[in-house]
Structure 1
Amino acid sequence: MAFFGKMGKLLMNSAVKQINHDLSMSTPSVFQAIRSMSSAKLFVGGVSYNTDDFSLREHFARYGEVLEAKIIMDRETGRSRGFGFITFATAEEASAALQAMDNQ
């Protein structure tokens, strides 16, 4: 009985691999589709623990219209975790900020 269970799993895995292969050949991968999409939201890491939402927004406003600036806070301590997110009005503004801030 255990033999048939193992054989069934092998057949199922083989069928799943074949289906996944067939799908990947006929349609572009989700990763490729997402990678080609532009985004107006940026991750900002290495931020000072003293930075708040307002100062983050103020700093990035020079690159375009900031819709949202959010510093991620630790739930237990209430302190900054040292990173956040900036959402610009357009992907072009986000790209300009990314290029300007690269390697800083």
Structure 2
Amino acid sequence: MKNFLFGLFLGAALMLATGFSFNWVFNKSFAQAQTFIPEYYQQLAWGKHSQMDAALNLLIKARDHLDKAAHDYNGHRVKAIEYTDKAIQEVREGINFANNH
């Protein structure tokens, strides 16, 4: 019985520790995601639409990584850049729509 209670306590402590660590990592990575947006995009879409703003940040960062990729990847990198540009445009239009309605 003593071992069972100890195991139960230990399991609960590990679950809590894991939950707190995942929460800490998520919050830290989300905060970092909002720091790399260039100033000219901040003026266009930064405000009350936090999820859309975070998506815009990540798309801009992805676009930057695609630009810096070393290879062409048989045209797939160029196609990915086109799709990313379109996604950035759509997110901006969604934010602008929400701001005006």
Give me the TM-score of the superposition, normalised by structure 1. 0.31
The structure in which a higher percent of residues are helix is 2
For the pair shown, which has the larger CA radius of gyration, 1 or 2? Answer: 1
The structure in which a higher percent of residues are strand is 1
